[in-house]
Amino acid sequence: MRYVDEYKNKALIKNLSRKIREITPKDKRIVLMEVCGTHTQSFFRYGIGSLIPENIDILSGPGCPVCVSSQNYIDKAIAYSKLKDVIIATFGDMMRVPGTNSSLEKEKAKGAMVKIVYSSLDALKIAKENPKKEIIFLAVGFETTSPTTALAILEAKREKIGNFFVFCSHKLIPPAMKEISKDKRMNIQGFICPGHVSAIIGARPYKKIAREFKIPCVVAGFEPVDLMETLLLLLGQIKNKESKVLIQYSRVVKEEGNLAAQRNLLRVFEICDAQWRGIGTIKKSGLRLRNKFSNFDIEKKIPLKIKSPLKPSPNLCLCGEVLKGKIRPQDCPSFATKCNPANPLGPCMVSDEGACGIYYKLGSRRAF
């Protein structure tokens, strides 16, 4: 099957593995970061770590939109779920994310109306079917999902649906990459850029990072050949002391991205500062509704003030450090003991794209 089987070709993977070993310096630690939770899954699922030299260190970054949502956002979403005549529409990953004192799953068990949806348009359908309820869609995601939220809002405006609201936590990946690049102690020498996000924004936004911080970037696909080719492209740049932005995932990603999606996005949203779990406030890294769409903003309709702790309890959950690439999940003292999928202490253990959950489930996988 084109674009599937050919990107799992074992002979090609072995050849790429050989080339990677040949080009990798043996006396130097190479630090790369992937900023997509799906890439984290793929690296473990296909056992890429056993196909490359041990001195190549691949860190997981802030590539899980549920995980980087602030504690205040989670607590406020839970507070909204407790209101009368409110239906919360959310992606499944958000259900078990622990807030300060509860979770959406626990509130649902107590009687709150919380429904799992697969898209913002599903939430809009719920609004049409329940005209006497206020539907709040938890708009969590990066540039991949934010255009669909924009489409839902445009559709709601066109059909004059007055009970559909958005609680926005959409974030932008390049500003977070830039913030991490500022920390010289991380010594990141290459970025594996997210394929899904890049399908929307293209490759151009990464050029500022490559130019300003001299860090090469490669937009990668998700199959084993994609990942091996990406590593080879990064290592080649590192060897030649280059810092370019290359597209390995060219069958999906174009230099300019999806212009139609970008237009819809900027029609509905404007860029703003945003709070990232573990990182703090990053300038111009979030999205909020423009004034002409403010009637869909639940924070304007029903403003809530929630007090959330600024820092997690010491030595309990180090999700924030994992998201910054400062530590690996197994370096957290709670990993796989106090914190596990049955009893998650933080979102990184809950979400399918969270590094802790991926390390827990797939960490022992061998090579493809």
3-state secondary structure the chain: CCCCHHHHCHHHHHHHHHHHHHHCCCCCCEEEEECCHHHHHHHHHCCHHHHCCCCEEEEECCCCHHHHCCHHHHHHHHHHHCCCCEEEEECHHHCCCCCCCCCHHHHHHCCCEEEECCCHHHHHHHHHHCCCCEEEEEEEECCCCHHHHHHHHHHHHHHCCCCEEEEEEEECHHHHHHHHHCCHHHCCCEEEECHHHHHHHCCHHHHHHHHHHCCCEEECCCCHHHHHHHHHHHHHHHHCCCCCEEECCCCCCCCCCCHHHHHHHHHHEEEEEEEECCCEEEEEEEEEECHHHHHHEHHHHCCCCCCCCCCCCCCCCCHHHHHCCCCCHHHCCCECCCEECCECCCHHHCCCCCHHHHHHHHCCCCCC
364 has a pLDDT exceeding 90? no
pLDDT score recorded for residue 349:
94
348 or 6: which leads in pLDDT: 348
pLDDT band, very low/low/confident/very high, at 97 (cuts 50, 70, 90): very high
- Counting residues of the chain whose pLDDT is more than 70, the rounded percentage is 95
Mean pLDDT calculated for residue range 246-264: 97
pLDDT band, very low/low/confident/very high, at 2 (cuts 50, 70, 90): low
pLDDT band, very low/low/confident/very high, at 75 (cuts 50, 70, 90): very high
Where do the structural domains in the chain lie, given as residue ranges? 68-172+257-301
3 has a pLDDT exceeding 70? no
pLDDT band, very low/low/confident/very high, at 367 (cuts 50, 70, 90): very low
pLDDT band, very low/low/confident/very high, at 305 (cuts 50, 70, 90): confident
Mean pLDDT calculated for residue range 41-63: 93
pLDDT band, very low/low/confident/very high, at 365 (cuts 50, 70, 90): very low
| Whole-number Å distance between alpha carbons of 125 and 122 | 5
pLDDT score recorded for residue 366:
42
Mean pLDDT calculated for residue range 283-301: 97
320 has a pLDDT exceeding 80? yes
pLDDT score recorded for residue 5:
76
Mean pLDDT calculated for residue range 120-138: 97
308 has a pLDDT exceeding 80? no
68-172+257-301, CATH topology level? Rossmann fold (3.40.50)
pLDDT score recorded for residue 357:
93
pLDDT score recorded for residue 306:
82
311 has a pLDDT exceeding 70? no
305 or 270: which leads in pLDDT: 270
368 has a pLDDT exceeding 60? no
| Whole-number Å distance between alpha carbons of 327 and 60 | 9
